[in-house]
Amino acid sequence: MKQKAQSIFEKAKESLSSAKDLKILYDRKVLYLGKKGELSLLMKNLKNIPLEERPQWGQFFNKLRSDLEEIYLKKQEELSHKELSERIKKEKLDLSLSGPRLLNGSLHPISLIINHIMELFKPLGYSVQTGPFVESDWYNFEALNIPPFHPSRDLQDTFYINDDHVLRTHTSPVQIRVLEKESLPIAVLAPGSVFRCDSDISHSPMFHQVEGLFVDTKVSFADLKGTLSFFLKQLFSPETKIRFRPSYFPFTEPSAEYDISCPFCKEKGCSICKRSGWIEIGGCGLVHPKVFEFTKHDKNKWQGFAFGLGVERIAIILYGVPDIRLFFENDMRFLKQFKSL
C-alpha cells in the first residue's frame, strides 16, 4: 500500500505541476485530493491495518497530502499571476474617453423662495432670526395673546408633545424671543418650518412660513402697507395690485389679510384664484399692546407691525405647481426643474 500511495503522489505531483490554467489545476486537485480522489480512497484502507500501526500510517498519508496541498497552492499562485498579467496586456485604458458626467445639485424650491424673500427684505434693513421647532405653550400661545379657548389650541389642529409643549404652529414665537432678548428698535424676519394637523392637495402637516416684525417708536398701518406693497411688487411684478381685508389675529390689532391680483388671469377670474381675481398671501397687523406687555416693553412708547406668509403658497404661484405635496415627495424629476428664480 505504501508503494501505491507513493506512486499516486508522484503522479499527482506531476499532474498538478503541469496544469495550464486554474480550472485544470482545480479539477486535478479534486481528482487526487477530493473526497473521492485516488489518495482519499486509498486512505480508507487504514481501517484494515492493525490498530498499533495506524498512527505511523496516518502520519505517512498526512505528509503526502500536505506536500500535495503545498504544490497546489504554489501552482495556483503562479497561474493567478500569469492570468492577471495576460489580462493586463489585453485590456487597454482609453484615456481619450470623457469621464462620467457629474450631476450638479440645486437648492430645494422652498429654499430658493426663502432665500429670495430674504434678499428682497435686505435693503430694508431686516435681519434673520430663527427659533426651535418644539415650543412651550408660553411662546407658541400665551405670550402671543392666544387665549386657552382659542381654536388653534385644539388637538385636531396642533401637534402636542405634552401638556406644556407643542410643535410650533407658526413662526410667531420667534417674535416673542426676539422681543425678549433684543434691544429696540428692531426689524427681523423669521423663516422656518411649522406644523399643523392638516393634509390635502393644498395643505401639509409640515410647511414653511416667513414672519416679519418691525418695532419702533412711531409705526403705523401705513408703514405696514408700504412695506408689503414694496415686497410683493418686487416678488411678483410692478403691475401687481395689493389689497388689505379686515381680519382678526390675537397678537395684532388692527389685523388684516392681504391679497394680490391674480397674475394668471389679471383679475378676470380663473380656477387658480377661484374666480375672484385675487389670491390670498398672508396675514398682518399692528403688534397688539399685550404682546409688548408680555415681553416687558412699554406699550405707550413702542409700536410695531407684523406679517406672515406661507412659502409654499408663494412657490405654487411663482412656479405654477398644482399640488403642495410635490414639494415633499423628493421626486428628482420634479426637483431638478428648479435651478433659480
pLDDT at position 95 over 80: no
Q: Dump pLDDT digits (tens) for 259-280.
A: 999 888 888 888 778 889 999 9
The DSSP bridge pattern shows strands 206-216 and 303-310 to be antiparallel
pLDDT at position 229 over 80: yes
* pLDDT band, residue 202 (cuts 50/70/90): low
C-alpha cell at 89: 496586456
pLDDT value, residue 44: 66
pLDDT at position 149 over 60: yes
pLDDT value, residue 217: 94
User: Distance between CA atoms of 126 and 189, rounded to whole angstroms?
Assistant: 6
pLDDT at position 341 over 60: no
Percentage above 70 pLDDT, the chain: 91
The DSSP bridge pattern shows strands 242-249 and 252-261 to be antiparallel
Q: Is the model more confident about 12 or about 176? A: 176
pLDDT value, residue 263: 86
Q: Express the helix, strand and coil content of the chain in percent, nearest 5 each.
A: 45, 20, 35
Among 27-41, 108-122, 220-234, 283-297, the least confident range: 27-41
* pLDDT band, residue 102 (cuts 50/70/90): confident
pLDDT value, residue 1: 65
Q: Is the pTM of this model over 0.75?
A: no
Q: Dump pLDDT digits (tens) for 25-50.
A: 888 888 777 777 776 666 666 666 77
CA distances from 24 to 29, 66, 144 (A): 9, 20, 84
pLDDT at position 58 over 70: no
| Average pLDDT of every residue of the chain | 86
